[in-house]
């Protein structure tokens, strides 16, 4: 039986995948951070969210 | 989860050597207070978790497992103290054994030692709540909302959810801080570019007008469109692009003015409100220095909570109880909430000042590059800028911000005393620059415009990246909160419904409309319950203590069912059932039997009536129980064997030990006589002290049996039920033979005869006595081996049937 946390995480990833700005790759990075078996640190999450933007300005 | 086949306990707590065979079914351990029942609970808990709950918690500071786990006679030999459980694992369809000694309490021996079985035991070690003591049941009911929230979350293993929420919140905050800093940097570089271009805002058309005017003057091709890679100074000879800052008089004057304005009022006034709040909070710290400690500890507890992710301390590798430690840290965090609010305000003010420092340094750096700045002034400006950078760095910690109180009071900008004079001197020198040719000036203008445009573009790119990161952080946090809150809401609804249904089943006679409602808000979990349809109130408002206890057990069962589902195959109730008031015990048994048919309950109780009722109602099979008679230091619990007493008496007689056999039989008769008197509602003279004589009880039971058989015969005749008539006549005939045989052996129940007097008897003399009483008792029980329960009256008042718990023996008592 899946734990409540596991259920919540799966739904969380599903909703992130539908959210604007979250690519499939980013969701997978999230999944990797939170399923590493260790307590997730903010710094790991920040890393997953702070990829360099390819956008440039005029 | 598991079900226990057997428990073997050696030299552990108050027990010397004890084996209990449970055969994966529910099991009851009864006995008076101090007879060693809790030793069994401790042993099971220890075997599964390596812990003994009774030696932990408030008031147990001097106690520890190593010293106080072994039997008192073996406290210097912790290796001798051990517990072995033989278990069955339903979902794996495997049997396994776990043996744990006090000496190596963290290293149980598991056989077979395969991964799937180790995983089961590792999971069980995280569920100490499978053992529920009487003092624990009420905590879910009477706890204040914050504590209840924590207890329920711990039981449901939900603390990881809060943990993750906190991590995502920290992430959101940090990403937002980074974005704010990047935005400030971007705005500064934009201001710098606007000053140079002398434009109130940056739009492509206006920029191109200003730039193309200079390019036309220089004979360069005008720029038609401003693109992301447009070079404003494209076409200038390479030598003309050097040292741009020295070439623009007008821009230099604007930069000087911008710095002078910022110093005069801008930077300080932008942070004025924050500084006021910050100084108020710092004043609170001066009044109460312990607040700072609490603030620091709040951060420490939060960090600690994030670090508690294993069963060992990451610094020294010492073992810790992960659940207890997390609960402890959460409690400390709650207590330091007030300090956290003040801390957050102080830190926020620090961040605001840091943002202003970015702007100010950007202005200072523009001036420092001017060639008119004398060496002394340049040194002073650089020191000032460096000092501001160091100050900004110090504002990243609470201590740094608090330590800067005097600087905040005096004016954090800390303008060098010579600055105004220096700026005046620099301005005069810049104004004194000889006017250059229009083409030279245009060239300088384009070079500096390109430089500032590059800075702005870089800063904007960084700002956009940080903005996107901050937006993702915000979405991630909000999404997780939405998902987890929705899941918890559903969970609480399921639990309150389940909890209510158990309670209604137990109290159907007076609270058939009972319902419960959880109110989860901001880390709190309120609980309201219906009171006789008069409204929803806290459980302790009107319900009796007995009812509150009943709620505690029901809520526990509902929570366990929700958290473990079909894995809820095992639980230990240490004197818990005592909490259910006597009028509702039968219904409580029904809840256990019907709602948890696959759960093995190991139940201890000091109430013999309760123990009997658990058997009568079929929660435990008649052989699945043990009664502790008494306890001594030397022997540990002394047992009244309920299940295999006759086999043991046979063993005694084989050894020709008649006193042992007689003593055992006497204790057994004492035990069952009370049982049977209760089951059959036999009439005896009431005794206030409950000290009934065994002979009197047996006599009343036998008489009552005769009455009931006669009633059943009359009823069968009235119904012309030939099968039952034949069955009862057969029973009466056997009964008469047994009575005749017993007649000569009744001296056994005479308490005036001491065991020692039996020492003169041979085993052959004693065998007929054993046979007579064994046959007598057999008359009162079901002969189906799987049932083997005592016959009892259903219902007790105005009985309709005399029957066993499986229903295969049933005599109707009601005539037509």
| Domain range for A23 | 7-49
- Mark yes or no for CB contact A53/B465 under 8 Å: yes
- d(CA B531, CA B551) in angstroms, rounded, equals 13
Cβ neighbours of B460 in A, within 8 Å: 57
| Token pair in block for residue B651 | 């063993």
Cβ neighbours of A3 in B, within 8 Å: 157, 563
Nearest residue of chain A to residue B310 (CA atoms): A38
Q: Is the pTM of this model over 0.90?
A: no
Nearest residue of chain A to residue B481 (CA atoms): A12
Q: By C-alpha distance, which of B206, B235, B244, B228 is closest to B456?
A: B228
- Mark yes or no for CB contact B230/A3 under 8 Å: no
User: Min CA distance, B229 vs chain A (Å)?
Assistant: 7
Instruction: Please tell me the predicted confidence (pLDDT) of residue B310.
Output: 61
Q: Is residue A37 part of a domain?
A: yes
For all residues of chain A together, what is the average pLDDT?
A: 73
- Window 2-21 of A: residues touching B by CB (8 A cutoff) are 3-5, 7-8, 11-12, 15-16, 19-21
Cβ neighbours of A7 in B, within 8 Å: 487
Q: What's the mean pLDDT in B795-801? A: 83
Q: What's the mean pLDDT in B526-545? A: 88
Whether A23 contacts chain B with CB within 8 A: no
Q: Is residue A58 part of a domain?
A: no
Number of neighbouring beta carbons within 10 Å of residue B431: 12
Cβ neighbours of A15 in B, within 8 Å: 479, 482-483
Contact B359, B188 (CB under 8 A): yes
How confident is the model over B352-399, as pLDDT tens digits? 888 889 889 989 988 988 888 888 888 999 999 999 999 998 888 888
Q: What's the mean pLDDT in B518-526? A: 73
- Mark yes or no for CB contact A16/B476 under 8 Å: yes
Whether the per-residue pLDDT at B311 is higher than 70: the answer is no
Domains, chain B, with CATH or none: 1-126+569-643 (3.40.50.300), 644-816 (no CATH)
How confident is the model over B206-220, as pLDDT tens digits? 999 999 998 888 888
- Window 29-58 of A: residues touching B by CB (8 A cutoff) are 30, 34, 38-42, 45-46, 49-50, 52-53, 55-58
Whether the per-residue pLDDT at B240 is higher than 60: the answer is no
Whether B708 contacts chain A with CB within 8 A: no
- Most A CBs within 10 Å, among B158, B453, B477, B483, to test the A interface: B483
Strands of B104-257, DSSP E? 109-111, 131-133
**pLDDT band for position A54 (cuts 50, 70, 90):** very low
Describe the strand order of the beta sheet including B636-640 as a list of residue ranges: B131-133, B570-574, B600-605, B27-30, B625-632, B636-640
Cβ neighbours of A30 in B, within 8 Å: 476
Residues 6+ apart with CB under 8 A from B563: A3, A4, B155, B156, B157
Instruction: Please tell me the predicted confidence (pLDDT) of residue B710.
Output: 93
Nearest residue of chain A to residue B176 (CA atoms): A46
Whether B742 contacts chain A with CB within 8 A: no
Nearest residue of chain A to residue B307 (CA atoms): A39
Instruction: Please tell me the predicted confidence (pLDDT) of residue B764.
Output: 84
- Mark yes or no for CB contact A21/B161 under 8 Å: no
Q: Is residue A29 part of a domain?
A: yes
Whether the per-residue pLDDT at A58 is higher than 50: the answer is no
Whether B461 contacts chain A with CB within 8 A: yes
Q: Is residue A1 part of a domain?
A: no
Angle at B237 between CA B232 and CA B243, to 5 degrees: 75
Instruction: Please tell me the predicted confidence (pLDDT) of residue A55.
Output: 37
How confident is the model over B404-425, as pLDDT tens digits? 888 888 888 888 888 889 999 9
Contact B586, B793 (CB under 8 A): no
Nearest residue of chain A to residue B228 (CA atoms): A58
Q: Is residue A54 part of a domain?
A: no
Of the candidates A1, A15, A45, the beta carbon closest to that of B566 is on A1
Q: Compute chain B's Rg from CA coordinates.
A: 42
Cβ neighbours of A42 in B, within 8 Å: 167-168, 170-171, 174
- Mark yes or no for CB contact B483/A45 under 8 Å: no
Of the candidates A22, A41, A57, the beta carbon closest to that of B228 is on A57
Instruction: Please tell me the predicted confidence (pLDDT) of residue A1.
Output: 44
Cis peptide before B795 (omega within 30 of 0): yes
Whether the per-residue pLDDT at A37 is higher than 60: the answer is no
Cβ neighbours of B306 in A, within 8 Å: 39, 41
Q: What's the mean pLDDT in B501-506? A: 93
For all residues of chain B together, what is the average pLDDT?
A: 83
Q: Which segment of B128-142, B521-535, B557-571, B706-720 scores lowest on mean pLDDT?
A: B128-142
Whether B308 contacts chain A with CB within 8 A: yes
Q: Is residue A19 part of a domain?
A: yes
Q: What percent of chain B has pLDDT over 70?
A: 89
Q: What's the mean pLDDT in B27-45? A: 89
- Mark yes or no for CB contact A21/B471 under 8 Å: yes
How confident is the model over B670-707, as pLDDT tens digits? 778 887 888 888 988 888 776 777 788 888 999 999 99
CA dihedral sign, ordered B44, B46, B51, B53: positive
Instruction: Please tell me the predicted confidence (pLDDT) of residue B600.
Output: 94
Contact B772, B745 (CB under 8 A): yes
- Mark yes or no for CB contact A16/B158 under 8 Å: no
Helices (H), B655-721: 658-679, 694-719
Whether B560 contacts chain A with CB within 8 A: no
- Mark yes or no for CB contact B163/A3 under 8 Å: no
Q: Compute chain A's Rg from CA coordinates.
A: 13
Instruction: Please tell me the predicted confidence (pLDDT) of residue B643.
Output: 54
Q: What's the mean pLDDT in B590-607? A: 90
- Mark yes or no for CB contact B457/A21 under 8 Å: no
- Mark yes or no for CB contact B476/A45 under 8 Å: yes
- Mark yes or no for CB contact B465/A22 under 8 Å: no
Which residues are paired to B615 by β-bridges? none
Alpha-carbon distances of B417 from A30, B261, B380, B391, rounded to whole Å: 52, 15, 10, 18
Burial class (CB in 10 A: 0-12, 13-18, 19+), B428: exposed
Q: Is residue A55 part of a domain?
A: no
Highest mean pLDDT, choosing among B313-327, B507-521, B570-584: B507-521
How many domains does chain A fold into? Answer: 1
Q: Is residue B747 left, alpha or beta, with left meaning phi > 0 and alpha meaning psi from -120 to 50?
A: alpha
Q: By C-alpha distance, which of B243, B240, B257, B270 is closest to B191?
A: B257
Of the candidates A1, A3, A20, the beta carbon closest to that of B157 is on A3
Q: What's the mean pLDDT in A32-54? A: 64
**pLDDT band for position B721 (cuts 50, 70, 90):** very high
ipTM: 0.88
- Mark yes or no for CB contact B483/A40 under 8 Å: no
Of the candidates A19, A39, A56, the beta carbon closest to that of B228 is on A56
- Mark yes or no for CB contact B457/A56 under 8 Å: yes
Burial class (CB in 10 A: 0-12, 13-18, 19+), B399: exposed
User: Min CA distance, A21 vs chain B (Å)?
Assistant: 7
In this structure, what DSSP letter does residue B790 have? B
Whether the per-residue pLDDT at B127 is higher than 50: the answer is yes
The 3 state secondary structure assigned to B406-454 is HHHHHCCCCCCCCHHHHHHHHHHHHHCCCCCCHHHHHHHHHHHHHHHHH
- d(CA B731, CA B716) in angstroms, rounded, equals 14
How confident is the model over B414-462, as pLDDT tens digits? 888 888 899 999 999 888 877 777 787 888 889 889 889 999 999 999 9
**pLDDT band for position B766 (cuts 50, 70, 90):** confident
How confident is the model over B134-164, as pLDDT tens digits? 667 666 666 666 666 667 777 776 767 777 8
- Mark yes or no for CB contact A42/B226 under 8 Å: no
Cβ neighbours of A5 in B, within 8 Å: 157-158, 160-161, 164
Cβ neighbours of B461 in A, within 8 Å: 53, 55-57
Q: By C-alpha distance, which of B558, B54, B55, B58 is closest to B331?
A: B58
Whether the per-residue pLDDT at B749 is higher than 90: the answer is no
Q: Is residue A11 part of a domain?
A: yes
Q: What's the mean pLDDT in A7-35? A: 86
Whether B454 contacts chain A with CB within 8 A: no
Instruction: Please tell me the predicted confidence (pLDDT) of residue B751.
Output: 52
Bridging pattern class, strands B3-12 and B15-21? antiparallel
First vs last C-alpha separation in chain B: 51
Q: Most distant CA pair in chain A: distance in Å? A: 54
Q: Any idea which residue has 């404003």 for tokens?
A: B232
Q: By C-alpha distance, which of B507, B530, B682, B504 is closest to B585?
A: B507
- Mark yes or no for CB contact A53/B464 under 8 Å: yes
Contact B158, B488 (CB under 8 A): yes
- Mark yes or no for CB contact A4/B482 under 8 Å: no
Instruction: Please tell me the predicted confidence (pLDDT) of residue A57.
Output: 39
User: Min CA distance, B468 vs chain A (Å)?
Assistant: 8
């Amino acid at each position: 039986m899946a734990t409540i946390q596991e259920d919540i995480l799966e739904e969380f990833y599903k909703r992130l995948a539908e959210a604007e700005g979250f690519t499939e790759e980013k969701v997978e990075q999230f999944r990797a951070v939170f399923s590493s078996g260790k307590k997730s640190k903010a710094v790991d999450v920040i890393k997953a969210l702070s990829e360099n933007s390819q956008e440039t300005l005029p | 989860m598991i079900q226990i086949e057997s428990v073997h306990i050696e030299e552990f707590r108050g027990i010397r050597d004890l084996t209990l065979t449970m055969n994966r079914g529910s099991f009851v351990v009864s006995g008076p207070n101090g007879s060693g029942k809790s030793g069994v609970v401790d042993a099971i808990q220890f075997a599964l978790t390596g812990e003994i709950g009774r030696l932990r918690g408030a008031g147990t500071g001097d106690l520890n497992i190593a010293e106080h786990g072994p039997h008192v006679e073996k406290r210097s030999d912790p290796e001798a103290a051990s517990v072995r459980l033989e278990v069955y694992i339903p979902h794996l369809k495997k049997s396994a054994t776990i043996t744990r000694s006090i000496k190596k309490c963290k290293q149980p021996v598991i056989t077979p030692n395969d991964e799937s079985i180790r995983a089961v035991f590792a999971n069980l070690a995280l569920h100490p709540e499978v053992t529920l003591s009487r003092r624990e049941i009420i905590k879910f009911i009477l706890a204040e909302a914050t504590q209840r929230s924590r207890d329920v979350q711990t039981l449901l293993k939900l603390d990881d959810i809060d943990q993750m929420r906190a991590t995502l919140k920290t992430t959101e905050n940090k990403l937002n801080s980074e974005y704010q800093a990047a935005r400030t940097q971007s705005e500064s570089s934009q201001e710098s570019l606007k000053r140079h271009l002398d434009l109130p805002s940056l739009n492509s058309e206006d920029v191109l007008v200003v730039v193309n005017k200079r390019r036309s003057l220089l004979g360069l091709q005008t720029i038609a469109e401003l693109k992301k890679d447009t070079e404003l100074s494209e076409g200038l000879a390479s030598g003309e692009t050097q040292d741009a800052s020295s070439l623009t008089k007008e821009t230099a004057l604007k930069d000087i003015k911008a710095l002078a304005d910022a110093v005069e009022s801008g930077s300080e006034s932008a942070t004025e409100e924050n500084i006021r709040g910050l100084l108020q909070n710092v004043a609170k710290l001066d009044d109460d220095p312990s607040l700072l400690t609490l603030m620091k500890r709040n951060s420490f507890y939060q960090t600690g909570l994030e670090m508690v992710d294993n069963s060992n301390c990451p610094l020294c590798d010492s073992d810790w109880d992960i659940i207890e430690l997390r609960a402890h840290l959460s409690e400390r965090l709650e207590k330091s909430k007030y300090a956290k609010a003040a801390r957050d305000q102080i830190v926020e003010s620090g961040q605001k000042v840091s943002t202003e420092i970015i702007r100010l340094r950007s202005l200072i750096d523009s001036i420092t590059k001017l060639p008119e700045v004398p060496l002394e002034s340049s040194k002073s400006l650089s020191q000032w800028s460096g000092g501001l950078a160091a100050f900004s760095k110090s504002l990243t910690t609470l201590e740094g911000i608090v330590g800067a109180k005097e600087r905040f009071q005096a004016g954090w900008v800390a303008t060098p005393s010579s600055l105004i004079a220096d700026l005046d001197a620099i301005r005069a020198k810049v104004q004194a620059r000889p006017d250059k040719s229009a083409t030279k000036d245009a060239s300088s203008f384009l070079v500096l415009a390109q430089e500032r445009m590059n800075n702005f573009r870089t800063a904007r790119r960084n700002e956009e990246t940080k903005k996107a990161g901050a937006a993702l952080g915000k979405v991630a946090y909000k999404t997780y909160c939405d998902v987890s809150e929705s899941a918890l809401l559903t969970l609480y609804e399921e639990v309150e419904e389940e909890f209510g249904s158990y309670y209604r089943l137990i109290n159907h006679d007076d609270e058939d409309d009972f319902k419960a409602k959880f109110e989860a808000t901001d880390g709190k979990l309120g609980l309201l319950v219906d009171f006789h349809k008069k409204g929803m109130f806290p459980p302790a408002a009107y319900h009796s203590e007995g009812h509150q206890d009943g709620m505690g057990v029901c809520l526990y069962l509902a929570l366990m069912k929700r958290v473990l589902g079909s894995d809820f195959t095992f639980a230990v109730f240490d004197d818990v059932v005592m909490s259910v008031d006597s009028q509702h015990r039968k219904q409580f048994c029904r809840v256990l039997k019907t709602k948890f048919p696959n759960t093995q309950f190991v139940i201890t109780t000091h109430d013999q009536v309760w123990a009997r009722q658990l058997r009568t109602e079929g929660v435990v099979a008649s052989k699945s129980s043990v009664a502790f008679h008494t306890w001594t230091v030397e022997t540990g619990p002394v047992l009244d064997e309920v299940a295999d007493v006759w086999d043991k008496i046979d063993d005694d007689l084989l050894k020709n030990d008649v006193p042992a056999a007689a003593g055992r039989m006497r204790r057994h008769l004492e035990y069952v006589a009370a049982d049977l008197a209760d089951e059959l509602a036999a009439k005896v003279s009431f005794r206030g002290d409950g000290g009934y004589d065994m002979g009197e009880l047996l006599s009343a039971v036998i008489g009552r049996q005769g009455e009931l058989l006669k009633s059943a015969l009359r009823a069968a005749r009235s119904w012309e039920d030939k099968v039952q008539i034949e069955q009862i006549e057969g029973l009466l005939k056997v009964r008469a033979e047994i009575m005749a045989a017993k007649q000569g052996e009744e001296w056994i129940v005479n308490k005036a005869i001491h065991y020692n007097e039996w020492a003169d008897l041979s085993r052959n003399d004693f065998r007929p006595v054993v046979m007579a009483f064994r046959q007598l008792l057999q008359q009162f029980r079901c002969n189906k081996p799987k049932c083997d329960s005592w016959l009892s009256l259903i219902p007790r008042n105005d009985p309709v049937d005399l029957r066993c718990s499986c229903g295969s023996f049933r005599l109707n008592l009601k005539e037509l």
